[in-house]
Chain A
Amino acid sequence: MMTDDVTIPIDVGPVEIAQERGTPASAQREVVFDIRDLEASYGTTTAVSGVNLEIYHNLITAMIGPSGCGKSTFIRCLNRMNDLIPTAKIDGEVLFHGQDIYGDGVDPVEVRRRIGMVFQRANPFPKSIYDNVAWGPRVLGMKRDLDERVERALTQAALWNEVKDRMKKSALSLSGGQQQRLCIARAIAIEPEVLLLDEPASALDPIATAAIEELMHDLKRDYTLVIVTHNMQQAARVADMTAFFSLEVGDGKRTGVLVEYDSTDKLFTNPGDKRTEDYVTGRFG
Chain B
Amino acid sequence: MAAARAEFSLSPSGHVRRRRIVNRTMESFGTLAALLAVGVLVLVVATVAIRAAPALDWSFFTKSPNLFGGPGGGISSAIVGSALIVGLATAMAVPVGVLVAVYLTEFAHPSIAGGIQLVLDVLNGLPTIVTGIFVYGLLVVGHTQSAYAGAFALAVVMLPLVARAAQEVLLLVPSALREGGLALGVSRWRTVLGVILPTTLGGILTGTVLAVARAAGETAPLLFTCSIFNPSVSTDVTHALPNIPVLIFTYSEQPDKTLHEQAWGAALVLMAFVLIASLTAKALLARSRRKLGR
Interface residues of A (CB under 8 A from B): 79, 81, 84, 86, 109-114, 116-119, 121, 123-127, 135-136, 139-140, 172, 183, 186-187, 190, 192
| Interfacial chain B residues near A127, Cβ < 8 Å | 195, 198
Q: Is B2 part of the binding interface, using a Cβ–Cβ cutoff of 8 Å?
A: no
| Interfacial chain B residues near A119, Cβ < 8 Å | 176, 179-180, 183
Nearest-Cβ distance from residue A206 to partner chain B, whole angstroms = 23
Q: Is B110 part of the binding interface, using a Cβ–Cβ cutoff of 8 Å?
A: yes
Whole-angstrom distance between the alpha carbons of A118 and B184 in the complex? 10
Q: List 6 A-B contacts (CB under 8 A).
A: A81-B183, A86-B109, A123-B180, A135-B184, A186-B184, A187-B184
| Interfacial chain B residues near A172, Cβ < 8 Å | 293
Asked if A109 and B179 make an inter-chain contact with CB atoms under 8 angstroms apart, the answer reads no
Given A126-B291, A139-B190, A172-B293, CB of A116 within 8 Å of CB of B184: yes
Given contacts A81-B179, A123-B177, A136-B185, 12 further A-B contacts (CB under 8 A): A84-B175, A112-B182, A112-B183, A112-B185, A114-B185, A117-B183, A118-B183, A123-B174, A126-B177, A135-B195, A190-B184, A190-B185
Given A123-B174, A126-B199, A127-B198, CB of A139 within 8 Å of CB of B186: yes
- 8 Å CB contacts to A: which residues of B195-219? 195, 198-199
Q: Is B194 part of the binding interface, using a Cβ–Cβ cutoff of 8 Å?
A: yes
Whole-angstrom distance between the alpha carbons of A186 and B185 in the complex? 12
Asked if A140 and B186 make an inter-chain contact with CB atoms under 8 angstroms apart, the answer reads yes
Nearest-Cβ distance from residue B107 to partner chain A, whole angstroms = 12
Whole-angstrom distance between the alpha carbons of A183 and B195 in the complex? 14
Asked if B179 and A84 make an inter-chain contact with CB atoms under 8 angstroms apart, the answer reads yes
Whole-angstrom distance between the alpha carbons of A178 and B174 in the complex? 20
Q: Which applies to chain B's interface (DSSP): helix, strand, loop or mixed?
A: helix
Q: Is B130 part of the binding interface, using a Cβ–Cβ cutoff of 8 Å?
A: no
Q: Is B51 part of the binding interface, using a Cβ–Cβ cutoff of 8 Å?
A: no
Closest 7 A-B residue pairs measured CB to CB?
Answer: A113-B185, A123-B176, A136-B184, A117-B183, A112-B185, A123-B180, A109-B187
Whole-angstrom distance between the alpha carbons of A126 and B185 in the complex? 19
Whole-angstrom distance between the alpha carbons of A113 and B293 in the complex? 28
Asked if A109 and B186 make an inter-chain contact with CB atoms under 8 angstroms apart, the answer reads yes
Chain B residue with Cβ nearest A127:
B198
Whole-angstrom distance between the alpha carbons of A86 and B113 in the complex? 14
Q: Is B286 part of the binding interface, using a Cβ–Cβ cutoff of 8 Å?
A: no
Nearest-Cβ distance from residue A122 to partner chain B, whole angstroms = 9
Nearest-Cβ distance from residue A120 to partner chain B, whole angstroms = 9
| Interfacial chain B residues near A79, Cβ < 8 Å | 183
Task: Determine which residue in B176, B291, B293 has the highest number of CB atoms from chain A within 10 A of its CB, and name it.
Answer: B176
Whole-angstrom distance between the alpha carbons of A79 and B194 in the complex? 21
Nearest-Cβ distance from residue A114 to partner chain B, whole angstroms = 7
Whole-angstrom distance between the alpha carbons of A124 and B195 in the complex? 10
Given A126-B291, A190-B184, CB of A139 within 8 Å of CB of B194: yes
Q: Is B292 part of the binding interface, using a Cβ–Cβ cutoff of 8 Å?
A: yes
- 8 Å CB contacts to A: which residues of B18-44? none
Whole-angstrom distance between the alpha carbons of A109 and B183 in the complex? 8
Chain A residue with Cβ nearest B193:
A139
Whole-angstrom distance between the alpha carbons of A116 and B183 in the complex? 6
